[in-house]
Structure 1
Amino acid sequence: MIGIIMIVYQYVLLACDFVHLVLRSALIILKSAWHVISPLPLKPINGEIILITGTGHGIGRELGLQFARLGAKVVCVDINEVTNKKTVGDICREGGAAWGYKCDVSSKEEVHAVSCRIREEVGEVTMLVNNAGIMPCKAFLKHTPEEILDIFRVNVFAHIWTLQEWLPSFIAAGHGHVIAISSIAGFIATSNLVPYCSSKHAVKGLMEGLTEEMRYAGRNPDIKFTSVHPFVVDTGLAKKPRIRFPTFNPITTAEHCAAQIIDGVRKEEEVICIPSRDYYGHIMMQLMPRQVRKAFLDFMDTGVDEDEI
């Protein structure tokens, strides 16, 4: 008799859980629809201490400038001391607050040493932007083992080293925000970028795993994670981009990409950085079957050609 009661109880519990899932999903859809009509207020940036890697040029530099204009204190980290100093100088000339540090973020030891200095000289970081990356463009078999290791050291392990330094601080404080620059290549791979695509898929998985780990059982609901997936951006990494319809689908500027990223960070949403604002790329990736996506990509003929060696 007890066994029958337990079986019935389990089925009733399963039915209740299913009803809860349906109601919760419906509520989320309704809230999302309402927020399209009546957007939530943007997250304030003023007073945040934001550490950004790869601020010497491109997206990282623009993020530093634009975050500073919103009142953030910006910690600029780059392996190139000369260009990084220029970014810091430009922020300060605009009246912003910025500090510059030279660091090879692929090195766990250097990341730890620089993080200690930042704590002493600036304070506890409240937002972490893992932006630094490299993108050699050539066929997979032309990459040397060391080149592939370098791609993963900079594009993946640098995220892990900085997270290990600052995520404990976020947990201790009960709040914080991690922003990771992945890529459209983290959704849809392309030729001549096989190791790069692999590294960006890894970043996407890292961020999704951390998001689930922090939210599970309400552990750290106020630590936010934003993944960013830029299209081809004019940063100099892709020296020979190939775009069939440049008028319809132009290369994104670093300035515009940074603005989209900051907008997404302030809305606490995943970011797809594309030239237009209709998010057709996001819709395509989420809704189209794999073979249809491939056919669409063949039609668009967008990617990168091999760098000249």
Structure 2
Amino acid sequence: MFLDFDKMIGIIMIVYQYVLLMCDFVHLVVIAAFLTAKSMWYLLFPPPMKSVTGEIILVTGAGHGIGRELGLQFARMGAKVVCLDINEANNTKTVTDIKREGGNAWGYKCDVSSQEEVQEVSRKIRQEAGEVTILVNNAAIMPCKPFIKHTSGDIKNIFNVNLFAHFWTLQEWLPSFLAAGRGHVVAVSSIAGLMATSNIVPYCSSKYAVKGLMDGMTEELRYGGRNPNIKFTCVHPFIIDTGLTKKPRIRFPSFNPITTPETCAAKIIEGVCREEEVVCIPSRDYYGHIIMGLLPREVRKAFLDFMDTGVDEDC
């Protein structure tokens, strides 16, 4: 006896859904294998670096440390650098040094934790320097003490500088990137935004949030091929010799030395020019990142205990 038409259609649709599911699964396996092979290939043979000549690059926290080195090195590559820092004297020195080397630079005093100040300085930048094409959110603070010793004001200030400043600058410059159909956003997170440690719990939290922000923005602009020419690079430096970390603890300093701002900035710029995520572990960037990403959580914790690397309380 023949099935009635409605039952036949139902069976066909069920079979179709299973066939579609199997096709999607096979597609996933093939894509995963291809991307894994591509990653391994790029590990051995990195892609060519793009030029930043003529780009207008905004760097927050440009008065010292990584931000200062980013400004200097970007300018040497032919970029026009816009320097922002709350410390006007330090920021002016960075701008002066860039110009002394023959580069183009503008400097503005700005508390990037203040949305109003970011809006005001962005208007000045558009009038005097032009539309920013690469945004580097670098400014950060890192009080080192146990969580219980952080006041509510400390915690709010950490998140205002380390996280919310990213939102304020993105709100100002992402529309310009969308209108132009191109642009690059760089966020300096931290190795503590991948693997937390003691005495900097609010700092770790803010840096984990920066990674979440960048991952979310990447997916939002990638979805449906919306804006493929707007790039995002998240940076995870190890302990940098900038003065923020006053009492670093490293069990094997010869294996895992403190990074200089010059080296870190060079690694960041390489990542920007290759449009890659950056983990600034001296001489072991890719290796360390791959190992820590593949290990199970409990094994990673045991590895961190063995390495005994972290930050001790300032006082």
For residues 118-157 of structure 1, the aligned pairs below 5 Å read 118-157=125-164
Question: For residues 19-66 of structure 1, what are the alpha-carbon distances to aligned partners after superposition, in whole Å with 9 as ceiling and x for unaligned?
Answer: 221222222233334434543221111011000000000000000000
Higher mean displacement: 171-180 or 241-250: 241-250
1:284–1:293 CA contact under 8 A, matched in 2: no
Question: For residues 193-238 of structure 1, what are the alpha-carbon distances to aligned partners after superposition, in whole Å with 9 as ceiling and x for unaligned?
Answer: 0000000000000000000000000011110000000000001000
- Of residues 227, 246, 268, the one that matches 2:275 is 268
Q: Aligned AA for 1:249?
A: N
Q: List gaps (5 residues or longer) in structure 2.
A: 1-7
Normalising by structure 1, we get a TM-score of 0.97
**CA distance in 1 between partners of 2:196 and 2:128 (Å):** 41
**CA distance in 1 between partners of 2:94 and 2:65 (Å):** 10
Q: List gaps (5 residues or longer) in structure 1.
A: none
2:221–2:228 CA contact under 8 A, matched in 1: yes
Shift of residue 4 of structure 1?
Answer: 1.4
Q: In percent, how many aligned pairs have the same letter?
A: 75
Shift of residue 281 of structure 1?
Answer: 2.5
2:279–2:285 CA contact under 8 A, matched in 1: no
Max radius of gyration: which structure?
Answer: 2
Shift of residue 5 of structure 1?
Answer: 1.6
Shift of residue 74 of structure 1?
Answer: 0.3
Higher mean displacement: 244-253 or 212-221: 244-253
For residues 105-254 of structure 1, the aligned pairs below 5 Å read 105-254=112-261
Give 2:303's aligned residue: 296
Q: Aligned AA for 1:206?
A: L
- Of residues 70, 73, 78, the one that matches 1:71 is 78
- Shift of the 200–44 alpha-carbon distance from structure 1 to 2, 3 Å rule, reads same
Q: Aligned AA for 1:307?
A: D
Query: RMSD of the alignment, in Å?
Result: 1.2
**CA distance in 1 between partners of 2:306 and 2:43 (Å):** 31
For residues 35-50 of structure 1, the aligned pairs below 5 Å read 35-50=42-57
Shift of residue 278 of structure 1?
Answer: 5.2
Q: Aligned AA for 1:169?
A: S
**CA distance in 2 between partners of 1:291 and 1:240 (Å):** 27
Secondary structure of 1:196 counterpart: helix
